[in-house]
Structure 1
Amino acid sequence: MCRWLAYTGNPVQLETVLFRAKHSLIDQSLHSRLGQTTTNGDGFGIGWYGRPTDIPFRYRCMQPAWSDRNLREAARAIHSPLFVAHIRAATDTPAQETNCHPFRYGRWLFVHNGLVRNYPAVRRELMMAIKPELFPSIEGSTDSEVLFFLALTFGLELTPVTALERMVAFVEATGRKNGVEQPLNMTVCATDGEQIIAVRYSSERESRSLFHSSSFHHLRELYPHDSRIAAAGDDAFLVLSEPLVDLPGWWEEIPESTAVVARGGEIEQYAFNPHLG
């Protein structure tokens, strides 16, 4: 499958998490420890904000992340208070730039790890449920992008967690109507530059791995000489498919069927209960 991460806190170089960490996202593109596939080489993307109210920037490429020299230059140059990054292992759709995450609509970015099972059988019905005014913004052919635009259809910009619950319920109902017993497996992240919403969920209750950082204030007390922690600030937050470094107390696994919302230094967890109401 795929690997992804999202960060919010003091502005930091993207290079810090993409390249410098022992088990950085670039290392995970070649040597994933917890993913369904060891290698994630079917494209990559980064999305970042200058200010929360700005339309986010993106850089996407269909080449493997480890071989893109421009990515290393960009990651060294870009400092951002909120960014997402994704490395792709394709399932049913081709490796092409428009299929690389993050997907973008207005101020929103979206990344996904997992799959809609038997996607070709349900694709048309899922796409027809997307609001007509959103449909022209779909660029690629992935199930992930359709999940994003379904979430927008169900109100992502107003009530993010509820919209994601409604999106999942609709996908599951559509899949089961078409004979798919366990329609959806996902970890997803959506952000508008002011908040990060991350969800770990699957129809079979065996979701892909997902972790978030412990309190950076606590981490600074545990590791007072680590410059990366000091630079990020006490309100920093990371959510990611697998840990970047092996340090005790740094990571907490997000439970199955859980949504995490990080905003302004506050982190909240909610039970994730798909429903159409």
Structure 2
Amino acid sequence: MFRADHILSLVGSAMLGLGGGALALTLTAPPELVPRLPIFDDIAVTEAAESPAARSWPALFGEVPPEPVAEETPAAPEPSPDFRLKGLVAGGDSGWAIVSASDGDHLVSVGSVLPGGAEVVAIDPDGVRILLDGKDFLISFDEEDEAPVAAAPAVAAPVVQTATLSLTELRNDGFQRSLGLAGGSKVVDQGNGHLAQQIMWVRNGRLYDKVGLQKGDILLTLNGVPAGDMKALTEAAPKLLRERVFELEFLRAGARMTLKVQIDEDS
């Protein structure tokens, strides 16, 4: 006669035997034949969601800024092989320049068209920029042409100075051409909206050189007309050409000076 504890022991042994057999089959069976229990899928998804790599942690030291994208520097215009710069007054859209071409000198401003269809697009202290056949070119000063006068020592100019200037020559050349051929200058801001002209270089034997102006001088007014106002100078040109005395206010090495230039009719 079987006792109850014997029956339970046999049942337990049988279940253990079945479990061990299942474990043995699982360990020896190919992976594709092993059944996957849903409970393990849930555990895997939970662990992946709670892994450090998947968690969204707040930045302790702020967000890392993106690397700045370097801006492309526009290519410098090529030197112009067909034109040479004789002089300029760089004043933005109101400036002008003297450009030498195969057919002679040309007084140009922004928008002028040179022989060959070259359009003047800018007049800067570095020279005259032109657009020709879709390409940018720079007309700059040619040192082999007429070398500018070297900068003289910054000495005080006399209050009154008589210059040997021909009124006929000034009238024939015109006011703008005379200033353009005198050398190179650029418009500078003196503050509070007051514009002036700073001489960048002086051409030998021309207007600036004859009256004793030097590189670095800042021209303030010419017979009361603001020297940095290109439009005002152009409008005042007919009146200025009728004058016999030019009174020029300028700065040299920070000192304010007045230069009076007398013009001889028969010079």
Bigger relative contact order, structure 1 or 2, given CA contacts below 8 A and separation 6+? 1
What range is the shorter-chain TM-score in? under 0.3
Q: TM-score, normalised by structure 1?
A: 0.26
Larger strand proportion, structure 1 or 2? Answer: 2
| Largest Rg, 1 or 2 | 2
TM-score by length of 2: 0.26
